[in-house]
Each structure stands twice: as structure tokens, then as C-alpha cells.
Amino acid sequence: MLQILKARFHQKYRTFPFPEKMPPMAARYTGRPEIASGNCKSGCNACVAACPVGALSLGENKRPIIDMGSCLFCRACETACPEKLINFTQDFSLAANKKEGLLINAATFKRAEAMGNELRRLFGRSLKLRQVSAGGCNACEADTNVLATPNFDLARYGIQFVASPRHADGLLITGPVSQNMKLALLKTYEALPSPSIVIATGACAISGGLFKGNSEVNDGVGNLIPVDLYIPGCPPNPWTILEGILRFMGRL
């Protein structure tokens, strides 16, 4: 017992003081992309051709537009661009209220806004979520589950994952919604008490990700049920998930 107490004392306080302090991100972490000012002069389409999931397009003056809802954050477009217009930062704040809000065509980005006043009154201090893995690879699920560890300590914000949709205030959905999970997801959504919220987490849940266009998936959850918050990434970093939910709750 004494050895256990000594070890625990040596480990010290393990919960990171977020949001009072910003977490240090790994040097190789890939966060929100930025499009530099100025126009694309070459118009070579190299960035568009390099993207494995079609997350890029060219807008006015051939300027790149990145859809973070589809983006895998592989940085292939950043490497391919001869004019270095694309830069992936270490900003982990990526969540948006609408799918259109995930489109990046400049250095500025409008972060997610808090839910409405009535929902904030109900869920602003306590939020219970039922997590649904709708055919995902378990990467998003793993980064969601890690939020329960001492470093993140999701419960200190009043946020908890529950076993039944009957006990939940909303759903946190991962995966592209395979045909085999479609009915289960719809029944889970119907079982939620009203009012409720839906959070689409990861590229698959938002747009279908790598599986987009396949007949065995539904290209994300937005085609089936209304979504209140989009958290992009493949998978999204745990801090991205936590920051997005807290911002949506009006806690940031």
C-alpha cells in the first residue's frame, strides 16, 4: 500500500487544466488548414489532384478551397502546391455548426457557436451523450473514449457518455453509417428524449470519408438525421472533440 501511495505521489496531478491553459500539441500534429492570401498563379490543379478523397476544389481566381468535412489531414495538398498557398497549422479548434462552415478558403475561420438559449439552459452545465459507432474503423471511437482518462477527465465539465439513448441528451456519432447500421442509428435517434442534439464526429460521420460514394454507406449522418455540431478530422484529436463540445455548450 505504501508503494502505491508513493507511486501516486510521484505521478502528481495528471489532469490538464483546459481551457485555462492550452495543451501542447505534438510537433507532427496536423491541425486546421489555412489558405494564404494572394491568387494561384499557376492554376496547375496539383493540390486537387493530390487529394485522395476529393476534399479540394478551386474557387475564384483558382484559389484552393478545402472541405474539412472530407479532409483526411494527410497534407498531400500542402506538399503538392508549388506556390505554398496551403498550410496546415497546429490549431486544434475545428468544430462548426454547419457543414458549410467547414469550408476553408482563407486564413480566417469561424469557430462553432454555442447552442441556443433554451438548449444551453438544459444542457449547458450537464450533457449526457450516447455514442454510436456507425461502421467506423474505431479510430474516432478511440479518441472519444480517451476523453474519460485522467488527463482529459471529461466528467469535470459535466459531460458523460451513457449506455442508453433514453438517458441521453444527444448522440455523438462516428463512422460513415453503413447500411447495416442505418436502422440501428435511426432507432437510437428516435429513442432520444426531446429536445436533443446530434454531433457528427470525424470525416466518415460528416461526409463518408474514405468510403464516400460506396453503395454500402450513407456518406455520413447528415443525410439521415439533423446534425447540430460537426467535428472534423481523421480521426479528430481528443482536444478537438473536447473543445468543440465545450464551445457548443457555451463554456468557451
> One digit per residue, pLDDT tens: the chain, 252 residues?
788 877 777 767 789 999 999 999 999 999 999 998 877 777 788 999 999 999 999 887 788 899 999 999 999 999 999 888 999 999 999 999 999 999 998 767 889 999 999 999 999 999 999 999 999 999 999 999 999 999 999 999 999 999 999 999 999 999 999 999 999 999 999 999 999 999 999 999 999 999 999 999 999 999 999 999 999 999 999 999 999 999 999 999
DSSP per-residue codes, 87-100: EE-S-----BSSGG
DSSP code of 44?
-
Q: Where are the domains of the chain?
A: 117-248
pLDDT at residue 60 in the model: 76
Which grid cell is 107? 486564413
Q: Kindly write down the DSSP assignment for every residue of 119-146, as one continuous string.
A: HHHHHSS-EEEEEEESS--SHHHHHHHG
CB atoms within 10 A of CB 33: 24
Task: Classify domain 117-248 at the CATH topology level.
Answer: Rossmann fold (3.40.50)
**Confidence at residue 10, expressed as pLDDT on a 0 to 100 scale:** 75
pTM: 0.93
∠ CA 32-38-42, nearest 5°, is 100
pLDDT of 63: 84
Q: Return the pLDDT at 59.
A: 83
